[in-house]
Amino acid sequence: MYRRRFIALALAATALLCHGPASAQDAYPSRPIRLIVPQSAGSGSDVVARLLSEKLSQDLGQSIVVDNRPGANGIVAMSTVAKSTPDGYTLLLTGVSQISFNPHLYASLPYNPQKDYTFISPVVDTPFVLIASKASGITSMQGFIEKARQKSGGLPFSSAGVGNSTHLAMEIIADKLGLKLTHVAYKGSGPALTGVVAGEVDAMASVLGTALPQIAAGTVVPLAVIGQTRVKELPNVPTLKEAGIDVPVMPSWWALVGPAGMDAKTVGKLNATLQAALADPQIKARLAALYLYPVVGTPDAMKQRAIQDSNVWGDFIKKRGIQSS
């Protein structure tokens, strides 16, 4: 009798051990999730992270804590996540700069974008707009090209820093047109835009949402949208392609990733939940107010996009000899 009872208990224990991990995966998430952001509070990625965390917290039934880890063009945040346990409780809202630019800008990186992360989902695309200072007298792409060719020292443009999207977007325009431009790096997008408004530089590739108030105020002139299509906020402003400049990739996108080795079931649940949140009318409206555009996609599609962009930008960065210290 005791022997039969012992065998029954042993079999029950074995069953619990066998099914324990699956049950834990089915119950995901069972505790709060940390969402790391590579920029400071109040930045564009921080605003998006906090907006989405509200909806995701409701849908997943667990709080999502936004953890700002700015520094070194996102390297601090990327390194933190790469070293984290791949259990789905440490995630990262990252962008094209950290995934597709940094590997080619720095001689040494403490992370490998393709090996150290699990791609979960695309999040949003951010169109840019090429703007000119009102003081420059430039009112069109043709005017921009003509003035750049006339300036022996190169037409000055501002950026948020070496290797930033605002920098590389201008470099690729210069390369496609065979123009000589002079790069003036500022400490952030805000000061870079102020430099255009003040007439310290002639042009800038700015995030659409950042530039629109100045466009409305008449202090800067929109020349072309750096994106795949025109934007409804500037219906009469052509895309670069319409202006005869074929840029192969958009300058900016954001994606959700986690550490390498995450469970496929957890990744699938996060992707489905995030995609549903991005399709929610209220979320779409709030993102639209920030001039951000949700992207539909699978984990693999996001990874392939990141690889493709990295290849394109890597070749370009090497060609132009651009490096960050």
- Mean pLDDT confidence for 70-82: 92
Q: What is the pLDDT of residue 325?
A: 65
**pLDDT interval class at 271 (50, 70, 90):** very high
The phi and psi torsions of 105 (rounded to 5 degrees) equal -95, -25
Query: Per residue in 189-201, pLDDT tens?
Result: 889 999 999 999 9
Q: What is the structure's pLDDT at 12?
A: 46
Q: What is the predicted pLDDT for the residue at 301?
A: 97
DSSP secondary structure of 90-140? EEEEEEHIIIIIHHHH-S--S--TTTSEEEEEEEEE--EEEEEEGGGT--S
Determine the Cα–Cα distance for residues 97 and 44; give it in Å rounded to an integer: 14
Bridge partners of 302, per DSSP, are none
- Predicted TM-score (pTM) of the model is 0.82
% of the chain surpassing 70 pLDDT: 91
Give the pLDDT mean for 292-307: 96
Three-class SS state of 87? coil
User: Once rounded to an integer, what is the mean pLDDT over residues 308-324?
Assistant: 91
Query: Tell me, what's the pLDDT at 246?
Result: 84
CB atoms within 10 A of CB 168: 26
Predicted local confidence at residue 156, as pLDDT: 98
pLDDT over 90 percentage in the chain: 75
Averaged pLDDT score across all residues of the chain = 90
Q: How many CB atoms lie within 10 A of CB 158?
A: 26
**CATH of the domain spanning 33-125+252-320:** 3.40.190.150
What does the alpha-carbon distance between residue 207 and residue 193 come to, in Å, rounded to a whole number?
A: 10
Answer yes or no: is pLDDT of 210 > 50: yes
The dihedrals phi and psi of 178, each to the nearest 5 degrees, come to 70, 35
| Digit-coded pLDDT (tens) for 134-193 | 999 999 999 999 999 999 889 999 998 888 889 999 999 999 999 999 999 998 888 999
Q: Do residues 186 and 161 lie in contact, with contact meaning Cβ atoms separated by under 8 Å? A: yes
> Fold for domain 128-243?
D-Maltodextrin-Binding Protein; domain 2 (3.40.190)
The residue ranges of every structural domain in the chain are 33-125+252-320, 128-243
Per-residue model confidence (pLDDT) at position 297:
97
Helices vs strands, H then E, count in the chain: 12, 11
pLDDT single digits (tens) 3-41: 455 444 444 444 444 544 444 456 899 999 999 999 888
With a CB cutoff of 8 Å and minimum separation 6, the contacts of 266 are 25, 28, 87, 88
Parallel/antiparallel/unpaired status of strands 293-294 and 90-95: unpaired
